[in-house]
């Protein structure tokens, strides 16, 4: 479902050269504190400690050894590429759609689904809500499972599927 943002980014036909040039980091001439706050927030949203703990708990449970290193590098590369592509697509779609409709700052959540409506019509709203729901539900499940692993391992209890 979240691939709708990738499809939307391609359908909007952005100026890819301008997008690549805009992706090069540069400090703004004003409001540097806000810039760094946003940069750290974006980084923190993509690299969450609970994901590392959850993944490592699975490694302990499945008794991974060094032979799993190549497979895990491929999984990490594919996963980060997939997630990164969707993240960049969300930025492209929101920049092209919201800015052209005069929304330069999102002040309320009701403005967010507007980014897919010009591309997919009514289904843009449905796709946005589904994407948001899936992302939130997935994160909640991962956090809950990670906390269960953390408590069980911390107290030395039997844990895992077996």
Domain ranges of the chain: 4-19+50-154
Say whether pLDDT at 78 is over 90.
yes
What is the percent of the chain with per-residue pLDDT over 90, rounded to a whole number?
Answer: 35
**Averaged pLDDT for residues 31-56:** 80
- Kindly report the backbone phi and psi dihedral angles of residue 118, in degrees, each rounded to the nearest multiple of 5, phi listed first: -65, -25
Say whether pLDDT at 45 is over 80.
no
Residue pLDDT, tens place only, 104-137: 888 888 888 889 999 999 999 999 999 999 989 9
- In this prediction the pTM is 0.78
Within 10 angstroms of residue 127's Cβ, the number of other Cβ atoms is: 22
Residue pLDDT, tens place only, 84-94: 899 899 989 99
- Sequence-separated (6 or more) residues with CB below 8 Å from residue 162: 61
Question: Taking phi first (over 0 means left), then psi (-120 to 50 degrees means alpha), and beta for anything else, what does residue 101 get?
Answer: alpha
Say whether pLDDT at 74 is over 90.
yes
Q: In the block, which residue shows the tokens 């969300």?
A: 90
Q: Distances from the Cα of 153 to the Cαs of 9, 147, 160, in angstroms?
A: 43, 10, 10
Question: Which pLDDT does position 12 carry in this prediction?
Answer: 94
The more confidently predicted of residues 43 and 93 is 93
């Amino acid at each position: 479902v979240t691939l709708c943002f990738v499809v939307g980014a391609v359908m909007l036909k952005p100026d890819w050269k301008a997008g690549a040039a805009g992706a090069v980091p540069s400090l703004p001439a004003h409001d540097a504190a806000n810039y760094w706050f946003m940069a750290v927030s974006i980084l923190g949203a993509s690299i969450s400690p609970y994901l590392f703990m959850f993944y490592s708990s699975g490694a302990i449970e499945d008794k991974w050894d060094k032979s799993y290193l190549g497979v895990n590098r491929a999984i990490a590369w594919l996963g980060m590429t997939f997630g990164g592509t969707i993240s960049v697509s969300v930025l492209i779609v929101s920049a092209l759609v919201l800015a052209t409709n005069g929304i330069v700052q999102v002040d309320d959540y009701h403005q967010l689904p507007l980014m897919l409506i010009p591309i997919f019509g009514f289904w843009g709203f449905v796709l946005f809500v589904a994407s948001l729901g899936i992302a939130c539900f997935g994160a909640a499940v991962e956090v809950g499972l990670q906390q269960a692993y953390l408590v069980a391992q911390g107290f030395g209890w039997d844990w895992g599927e077996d």
